[in-house]
Homo-oligomer: A and B are copies of this chain.
Amino acid sequence: MNALDTTFAALSHEARRSILAKLADGETRLSDLAGPFAMSQTAVSKHVRVLSDAGLVTVERRGRSRYCRLNAAPMKEASDWLADYEAFWGQQFDNLARYLAENRD
């Protein structure tokens, strides 16, 4: 898997996007990330691992705690990729319209 693959895959789960949103407010302990989720700390830890593997989060151990920080850099590549399609966003019906025009009888 290349960088875009892992970035998009990491972003494809609501829990992980929520984790990133919380980290945007600043460094957060892993246990504090787990709080609002209806899942075990182990599960949250796995999500953080996916984010960490994707380079979106850096985890640092201090004492008993793991402190997670946002690293948004990989998002830029994803955003740049999407930006190439910006010209098409308003055209969702254009292709259909063109087809209908071409096949009008």
| A interface residues (Cβ-Cβ under 8 A, vs B) | 2, 4-9, 11-14, 17, 20, 24, 27, 58, 60, 69-73, 75-76, 78-79, 81-86, 88-89, 91-92, 95-96, 99
Count of identical protomers in the assembly: 2
Residues of the B chain whose Cβ atoms lie less than 8 Å from the Cβ of A82: 75, 78-79, 82
Are A79 and B73 in contact, CB atoms less than 8 angstroms apart? no
A73/B92 in contact, CB under 8 A? yes
Option from B2, B5, B89 in Cβ contact (under 8 Å) with A72: B89
CA distance A85 to B22 in the complex (A): 12
User: Does B17 contact A4, Cβ atoms closer than 8 Å?
Assistant: yes
Contact partner, A70, options B7, B79, B95, Cβ 8 Å: B95
